[in-house]
Structure 1
Amino acid sequence: MINACLLNDDDTLKLVSVAAGSTLPTNTIWLDVNQPDDEERQWLEKLLIEDVPDEDEMDDIESSSRFRVGPDGVHILSLFPQRLANDTRGVNMSFTMRKNLLLSFREDDVSIVRLLRYYIRHGKANIRSALDILLSLQDLKVDQLSDMIEDAYSTLDETADTIIEEGHVEENLEELVRQEELNGQILQALYDSRRALRFIKKTFESSLDDRQNRNIDEMLNDIESILPHTQFLANKINFQLEATMGYTNHKQNKIIKIFSVAAVVFMPPTWIASLYGMNFKFMPELDWRFGYPLSICMMILSAGATYLFFRKKGWL
């Protein structure tokens, strides 16, 4: 699927669908390509000097692969968070900037792209060039990462209230593991955005106007202010994980303690029963009329004395 954003003479924006093989409008400033088929790839390769990037190429992590200037223009690989129900994963988007045309490639849906297209349709986007499209996507990403951190704080507040409640331990562990993964993805996306913005500012230094420079500086400042929150969230998640595991171990230790005390309490009666269960010939108590009641009393008294001893020591 290929969608184009057109910048009209009156500075208004228009979104249109583009079919493979058609003529690209001259006032196109953004060509968004989502999961292109073979026919669309062949058509796009005629517009580009370099090949259309595939999914494996968009997963590279080296700086030389993610940020470079090639014969076809400026190439940027940027990571965007994508929420799916309770899970979040990163989707890499490939950008190619050539003159006043931005080409974006992705192999999956990205909610930030849909949000920007919504703003464009309703005239809420302050876009005057292809570079503004790229900066707007980065700006929306930083805002989304900030919202995700706020949601993480709310979730951790809820799990903190139920750490020692019965029936919530397993649920809390699953949620904390999910939050740990989410925090790592947020941190990775923030680092990626910072690298991308610094590369954009350095590469397009001569063509950036004051408004764009201010926008980039504000995004970089926002990223620097958000980064400490990821460390705080990591510490909070680890604390709650340790508290949950500590509470679980405490409950298990109490159960083991009960069995251990029960074994010690019944040890003297077991010894007495074992003693009189021996089949020796000369055991006077075996023929004694009161031998059986006496052995029963000895078992009860020995168990009771052991129990009282444990209570006095504070072990129970």
Structure 2
Amino acid sequence: MLTTYSVEAGQLVVREGAQATETLGRAVWIDLLTPTQEEERQVQAALRLEIPTREEMQEIESSSRLYREEDALFLTAPFLYGVEGGELGSTAITFVLGNSALVTVRYATPKAFAVFSARCQRTPVQLLTTPDGVMLHLFEQVVDRLADILERIAAEMDRASQAAFRTAKAKVKATTKDADLKDALITLGQVGEVTTRASETLLGLSRILTFLTAEKATAVRRENQPLIKTLVRDVRSLVEHANFLNSKANFLLDAVLGIINVEQNAIIKTFTVASVALMPPTLIASIYGMNFQVMPELTWKFGYPMALVVMIVSAVLPILYFKRKGWL
């Protein structure tokens, strides 16, 4: 889908679908969401630049993601999306920064794009004055969104850790404890995935900002250059926070797995004690179950009760010994 944003007479004008070359030339921001070949040709003809294909956007080498062609900068990075819906992922988005317009090429919609579009409805003059200003304000929205996600993830991680340790201390049924620990593991796994993808997005933004810093003399207008410094500081702080959350998630994951291991060891110990305690009675029962003709106890009046008492005593003695050693 082709969407253009422009400011005419102080008002935001949003157009969707196929448009004339003159209309595309007046747009400050051209957003291509899963574009068709015809839409790509229209934009290329209007701006006289080459739109990268989806395959080219997936390339991971830096020279293919950050480069200049004549007066246009091509900036590609992975962006986190789908956190709210539970089907999160990362999608490559390309920003083509020209002298007259910003072109974004994407195949998914991170929430930051939808929020920024809504902001443009309210304050179009401040956000859509220049293409480099649009891009930097869009990056600012992405950073704000990532900060919100990391804050929410930190809160979920705290709840999961408290629930896991509370469950480990509580004297509840094994099935309840297993279910609680399983929920904690799932939550920590989701936290790890989100923080990893958020770190990937922050790394891509950091590379873009580093490239922009080197090219800002010609690519970024003077009034917008302070935004780069602010974004660099914000991204750096979020990278540190994301690394901290990753470390904390790994620690909690190890702790929960340790708790599960202790619970499993307790169960195995119970079975081991039961099997050892039953070995002497089993031996006695096996002896008196042999089919020999000369076994005096078989004809003795108190032979059967005596065998039962000996089996019970032989089972109780190992249990008392284990308790004395502190193994039970």
TM-score by length of 1: 0.92
1:193 is displaced (CA, Å) by 0.7
Of stretches 152-161 and 280-289 in structure 1, the one that deviates more from structure 2 is 280-289
Of stretches 61-70 and 97-106 in structure 1, the one that deviates more from structure 2 is 97-106
Q: Which residue matches 1:92?
A: 92
Aligned residues with identical type, % of pairs:
29
Relative to its length, the structure with more helix (as a share) is 2
Q: Match of 2:115, as an amino acid?
A: L
What's the CA shift string for 1:125-164, capped at 9, x where partnerless? 6232111011111111111111111111100011012115
Q: Measured at CA, do residues 203 and 142 of structure 1 come closer, stay the same or move farther in structure 2, by a change above 3 Å?
A: same
Q: Which residue matches 2:318?
A: 306
Whole-angstrom distance in 2 between the partners of 1:210 and 1:43: 31
Whole-angstrom distance in 1 between the partners of 2:49 and 2:100: 18
Q: Match of 2:28, as an amino acid?
A: I
Q: Which residue matches 2:110?
A: 110
1:207 is displaced (CA, Å) by 5.6
1:113 is displaced (CA, Å) by 1.9
Whole-angstrom distance in 2 between the partners of 1:19 and 1:282: 103
1:141 aligns with 2:142: yes
Of stretches 261-270 and 29-38 in structure 1, the one that deviates more from structure 2 is 29-38
Q: Which residue matches 1:288?
A: 300
Q: Measured at CA, do residues 271 and 18 of structure 1 come closer, stay the same or move farther in structure 2, by a change above 3 Å?
A: closer
Aligned residues: 314
Q: Which residue matches 1:16?
A: 14
SS at match of 1:282: coil
Give yes or no for contact 2:7–2:13 (8 Å, CA) kept in 1.
no
SS at match of 2:319: helix
What 5-or-longer segments of structure 1 have no aligned partner?
none
* RMSD after superposition: 2.0
1:45 is displaced (CA, Å) by 3.2
Give yes or no for contact 2:21–2:42 (8 Å, CA) kept in 1.
no
Q: Measured at CA, do residues 130 and 118 of structure 1 come closer, stay the same or move farther in structure 2, by a change above 3 Å?
A: same
Q: Match of 2:184, as an amino acid?
A: N
TM-score by length of 2: 0.89
Q: Measured at CA, do residues 300 and 160 of structure 1 come closer, stay the same or move farther in structure 2, by a change above 3 Å?
A: same
Whole-angstrom distance in 2 between the partners of 1:39 and 1:77: 22
Whole-angstrom distance in 2 between the partners of 1:42 and 1:106: 16
SS at match of 1:188: helix
SS at match of 1:3: strand
1:197 aligns with 2:209: yes
Q: Measured at CA, do residues 287 and 205 of structure 1 come closer, stay the same or move farther in structure 2, by a change above 3 Å?
A: same
Whole-angstrom distance in 1 between the partners of 2:215 and 2:106: 23
Q: Measured at CA, do residues 129 and 50 of structure 1 come closer, stay the same or move farther in structure 2, by a change above 3 Å?
A: closer
Q: Which residue matches 1:69?
A: 68
1:244 is displaced (CA, Å) by 1.5
What's the CA shift string for 1:197-242, capped at 9, x where partnerless? 1211221324644542211101101111222212211121112111
